[in-house]
Structure 1
Amino acid sequence: MRTFTRIVAQAENAPCAQLADLTGLGAVLVLAPHPDDESLAMGGAIAAASAAGRRVHIAVVTDGALSHPRSRAYPATALSALRRTEVETAVRILTAGRETPIWLGYPDQGAPDDPVSFSDVETRLLRHLGGVTAIWTTWNGDPHSDHQCVWRLARWMADRLECAMFACPVWGRVQTPVDGASSVGLRRFPTTAFHDLKARAVAAHVSQMTGLIDDDPEGFRMPQDLAAHFAAADEIFIPA
């Protein structure tokens, strides 16, 4: 039986968030460290916001090309292209084709992490930032360097836009969270109405969820029980 961290138990007893609490009155910007984080962390909320008529701009920061670093069938360029196709499919599912992800293409484990790089991201996203009233990203308690970098990017951009920001745990659900990461104000977003869409979006990331890439014994493959957890569990939103 899988063991979850305190953040999952905390969420079970947390107050529910209404969609408007998470979006504000305008558009949402999602900053996903890797292709699949948008579906795992906040896929249900993306689907809910899009169905409610909100614009949801989904920026994928890195290319995820290190998930299978020793694959000869899928070297980095091919894997990056595959993962881009997968996230395009996932976003199309979640938004009924209303949105297309914005591919920033930074290298896996090389997410921007300084003001100059943050400013470059802002410039690249500029035409999508008008009317944004909330930024959603992953949690800085997730023990993955890209998740922490992108949380800092989101915090920088939220300050610039003077908008709300929420962090959604991914790996902090099952791995010891990074010391010092706050969970104050945690709320859960019920996703029952969007379970099917979210499950389909998660499954669209075939390179991560199945044995499609079978020539790298150390390559990543999401355990089936964990994929099922992400598809069915309420989402966790932590104000930052």
Structure 2
Amino acid sequence: MVTFSHTDAGTPEQEWAASGVAALPELPLDTSELAALTFVVLAAHPDDETLGAGGFLARLHAAGAAIELVLCTAGEASHPDSQTTTPERLAAVRLAEFTTAVSGLAPSATLRFLELPDGQLAAHADRIAAAIRESIAGRTAEEVVIVAPYRSDGHTDHDTLGKVAADLATQDGYGLLEYPIWYWLWAGTGDTTWSSWVRVPLSQEEQQAKSAAMRAHASQTEPLSGQPGDETLLSGTFLEHFERPWETFAWHPSHSGNNSAVDAERIFDEVHRREEDPWSYTTSWYERRKRALTLAALPRESYESGLEIGCSIGTLSEELARRCGTFLGVDASSAALAQAAKRLAGHPSAEVKHLIMPQEWPEGSFDLVVLSETGYYLSPEELTELLARIQASTRLGGTLVLCHWRHPISGWQLDAESVHAMARTHLGWPTHGLYQEKDFMLEVFTAPDTSP
């Protein structure tokens, strides 16, 4: 659980500006595509919609898109120590500010207020899900995009609302855009979660509309009074993150448009051609520590034949090859494999091969199979086929290692939990060991040592 306070200095905007966030790919939806969709925009509190997606709301209105805006709480708990107002009076102020802000951004939006208690959305997840379904009723999955707070934003209400939206999108196939707010405060630029997100560049008119909407939320951007407890909630340095000429989202297209293994070759070749080490495998402490934990989790000191699926540039492959009599690293990206081949050049019994799995599969059998940071780049159907391939190719008593990042992966249907859950269900193999923390999960399975 992330711990932070709105009074924290946080990561300066200058650091974010230098991080590469401004160079993220653009959301691949043009004006005509926006106009054909219905956007269900969710806000936990008044001002969330403006901070995270104000410019985008202005664009949707101009494009003629249908907008259903659902506000969960009045934000009445924003100043709990105020001596000059009550939660009831503050709720009335904030709702008026919300109406003014949205009328300037998207006057065509249909507004709905759920009247849920501020800070307690976790107890009302079913009510929120029902409201979203009511807003979507009568539309197909391909016609709907849900816009919600980032599900790991760090604020309990944001996280709850984001998770409800993500669960609905996954279950029913809706598109999903997640907007971060407090993430920009507590996360550092070394947290590479944002590297899979997309960017919506804002026109000057959209920036001006967003700026005017933020001024409407005066109870959050200015002190309520000079009395203790009435201090400004959103500092100037925090608001700098929302004065950018773009907005940032984790993007998950509707299921019918989701990426699959076939797309991986193009996507990851592009990534590796831009940078030799796009995920900082060689320099990041997170990556080096994760590799060390993965290697330490292997139940055997050595293996006869190892297979790494999705070996990328070969940083883990190099370590695995030392513990295998023969080793094969496969990946969909030829650009990544060129680097992996160089790393494995000193291991004559190791090789790399360009394969798009699960459609293509190497010959032979293996007593070690490693699937690290790769399972969620498949569709559910492809992962099912991949697990069947692994089951057929793993020797009796062999080891299967799964290791995956536990945050949303933009543009793909699966996440870490769903990949590991599918492995448990489809294989039925006992778990030798399981390690989980905020950022990743590592699980080791043992194939049965007797034939079924």
Bin of the TM-score, shorter chain as denominator length: 0.7 to 0.9
Q: Does 1:123 align with 2:130?
A: yes
Matches within 5 A, 1:33-182: 33-95=44-106, 97-112=107-122, 117-130=124-137, 131=139, 133-176=144-187, 182=193
Cα distance, 1:120 vs. partner?
Answer: 2.1
Could you tell me how far apart the structure 2 residues matched to 1:47 and 1:228 are?
19
Matches within 5 A, 1:163-202: 163-176=174-187, 182-183=193-194, 185-193=196-204, 194-202=206-214
Matches within 5 A, 1:10-29: 10-20=20-30, 23=34, 25-29=36-40
**1:6-29 deviation per Cα after TM superposition (whole angstroms, max 9, x unaligned):** 876342121112444995842101
Q: Root-mean-square deviation (CA), in Å?
A: 2.8
Corresponding residue of 1:231 = 243
Could you tell me how far apart the structure 2 residues matched to 1:214 and 1:32 are?
29
Gap change, CA 1:11 and 1:181, over 3 Å in 2: closer
Cα distance, 1:173 vs. partner?
Answer: 1.0
Specify the SS of the correspondent of 1:237: strand
Unaligned runs of 5+ in 2: 1-8, 253-452
Gap change, CA 1:143 and 1:5, over 3 Å in 2: farther
- With 207-216 and 13-22 compared, the bigger mean Cα shift is at 13-22
Cα distance, 1:43 vs. partner?
Answer: 0.5
Cα distance, 1:168 vs. partner?
Answer: 1.1
Unaligned runs of 5+ in 1: none
Specify the SS of the correspondent of 1:222: coil
Specify the SS of the correspondent of 1:62: coil
Q: Is the 8 A contact 1:192 1:232 kept in 2?
A: no
Cα distance, 1:62 vs. partner?
Answer: 2.1
TM-score, structure 1 length as denominator?
A: 0.85
One-letter identity of the residue aligned with 1:153: V
Corresponding residue of 1:210 = 222
Could you tell me how far apart the structure 2 residues matched to 1:214 and 1:101 are?
33
Q: Is the 8 A contact 1:141 1:181 kept in 2?
A: no
Cα distance, 1:127 vs. partner?
Answer: 4.2
- With 83-92 and 221-230 compared, the bigger mean Cα shift is at 221-230
Cα distance, 1:181 vs. partner?
Answer: 9.3
One-letter identity of the residue aligned with 2:144: T
Which entry has the higher C-alpha Rg, 1 or 2? 2
**1:24-45 deviation per Cα after TM superposition (whole angstroms, max 9, x unaligned):** 8421011112110100001011
Q: Is the 8 A contact 1:30 1:59 kept in 2?
A: yes
Specify the SS of the correspondent of 1:189: strand
Q: Is the 8 A contact 2:80 2:229 kept in 1?
A: no
Q: Is the 8 A contact 2:222 2:231 kept in 1?
A: no
Q: Does 1:3 align with 2:12?
A: yes
Could you tell me how far apart the structure 1 residues matched to 2:87 and 2:193 are?
34
Q: Is the 8 A contact 2:223 2:230 kept in 1?
A: no
Q: Percent sequence identity over matched residues?
A: 24
**1:100-156 deviation per Cα after TM superposition (whole angstroms, max 9, x unaligned):** 53211222211135xxx4332233345421335101111123221111111111112
**1:82-110 deviation per Cα after TM superposition (whole angstroms, max 9, x unaligned):** 11111111110001x21253211222211
* Bigger RCO of structures 1 and 2 (CA < 8 A, at least 6 apart): 1
TM-score, structure 2 length as denominator?
A: 0.47
Q: Is the 8 A contact 1:190 1:234 kept in 2?
A: yes
Q: Which of the two has greater strand per residue?
A: 2
Q: Is the 8 A contact 1:19 1:48 kept in 2?
A: no
Gap change, CA 1:216 and 1:61, over 3 Å in 2: farther
- With 197-206 and 53-62 compared, the bigger mean Cα shift is at 53-62
Corresponding residue of 2:318 = none
